[in-house]
Amino acid sequence: MTNQEETMKNIISLAKRRGFIYPGSDIYGGLAGTYDYGPLGVTLKKNIENLWWKMHVDLREDMYGLDSAILMNPKVWEASGHVGGFNDPLVSDLKTKKRYRADHLLEEAGLDPTGLSLSEMGELIIKHNLKSPEGNQLSEPQQFNMMFKTTVGSIDGADTTVYLRPETAQGMFVNFKNIIDSFHPLLPFGIAQIGRAFRNEIAPRDFIFRVRELEIMELEYFVHEDDWLGLFEYWLERSRIWFRALGFEPGDIKEVEIPDGERAHYSKRTVDFHFRYPHKFDEIGGLAYRTDYDLKSHIESSSVDLSYHDAINNKRFVPHVIEPTYGVGRHVLAVLTKAYTVDKLGEDDRVFLKLPVHLAPIKVAVFPLLKNKPDLVAKAEEVYNLLKKDVPQIMWDDNGNIGKRYRRQDEIGTPYCLTIDFDTLVDKTVTVRDRDTGLQTRASLEEFIAQLKTAIDHYQTL
């Protein structure tokens, strides 16, 4: 097992043991490509989403939030090109009938599938005598549409086929006219949402990196065609600021310019952002210049006017679109990967999550030094209740000795632990233990609250 594989294994183990992420349908043996977020995981995820929303919607004057429906008229997906073109190359194990991504098998064999047709992939598979993971012969590659189908209606024979949306973007495009009519925004402006999407992945893998049910943080920024280049560079820099706000360093993120012939059919320019995951540098988000493809496609399909009237110049035109998009689950995995740390504290090895304060699901844990001393417990409860008014993400822990409590909090990434001891009863100071250094200092509760708020605000205002 490589160091990278060992790291992923350890992150998966910690995530389940400490209540971050559980396998979906766990008591029934699971379902491939599905995961449930536990109490700490859902808080970490919400902290990431709330930070994104604050930076991209709440603190801006040119952004409009949206929460569009998962089920949409199937004509939406015909117009967007998903019905005819949202495909992955599939091969089957001829013996077990299990399905695999042809491009993934080629990559794992050290071959580059980029830009290859189905027949060219098939030729490479034959040439290099590639087998399935079980060692069996493979079928010819074929296209596999990744959209989940379902039906609406209650009368046999009269049901309508619909799809679980494979992306959130189209919900923003079909609501473009509604936003225009309701708010009359001036260009440039954006529509943003965080929502679920569904992709029938042939081979989910790498923990929560590639799953069948996912969440996306995404915005569509509508611009005049003449302004797209400058605004593309603007959103490129905004993406860099976003990654810094997550605590990532320049070496953690790689920007990949997608060349002609490899971009999505709607894109004139795309930059993908790759994070250094345990398995490899892989995509965490992207920035695409979608031109006016989507709005024009929906105009043609629906016969509804989705143009924009520039009142200043008295001109009507179809805006172009710049799209920054980020995968929520991939962000959670990236944050856990970046935070996962093994070091030596004193004589002991320890594992801890070096989470930024504003992302940590628990900001502070409160301990009474001894659980069998009523005065200490009462004072600790008083401190806990007072702190919770200012810092809701707080935990009480009186189980085991102080050393064991510290280790538990280290593993879930709690930045600070407060111990209420006998000195607290005299001078109202508490022992503050820092997660990263293990150092302990004494401070008044007021001093600590100010210190904690400063740490949180430092990250949120990057």
Per-residue pLDDT reduced to its tens digit, 353-389: 999 999 999 999 999 999 888 898 999 999 999 999 8
Task: Give the pLDDT of residue 262.
Answer: 80
From the list 318, 307, 264, 308, the residue with the least C-alpha distance to 287 is 264
The least confident of 4-13, 81-90, 270-279 is: 81-90
When pLDDT is averaged across residues 392-404 and rounded to a whole number, the result is 91
pLDDT top residue among 83 and 73: 73
Rounded to an integer, what is the distance from CA 74 to the centroid of its chain? 27
Output the pTM of the full model: 0.90
Question: Nearest-CA neighbor of 370 among 406, 345, 399, 341?
Answer: 399
pLDDT at residue 154, rounded to an integer: 61
Mean pLDDT along residues 414-422: 94
Q: What phi-psi label fits residue 68: left (phi over 0), alpha (psi between -120 and 50 degrees) or beta? A: beta
Higher pLDDT, 103 or 159: 103
Q: Is the Cβ–Cβ distance between 265 and 81 less than 8 Å?
A: yes
Give the pLDDT score at 453. Answer: 86
* 215: helix, strand or coil: strand
Higher pLDDT, 215 or 82: 215
Closest CA to 161 of 86, 68, 78, 80: 78
The whole-angstrom separation of Cα 147 and Cα 166 is 6
Domains along the sequence of the chain with CATH: 3-81+150-337 (3.30.930.10), 91-101+103-145 (no CATH), 355-460 (3.40.50.800)
Lowest average pLDDT, out of 91-100, 294-303, 404-413, goes to 91-100
Q: Where is pLDDT greater, at 164 or 146?
A: 164
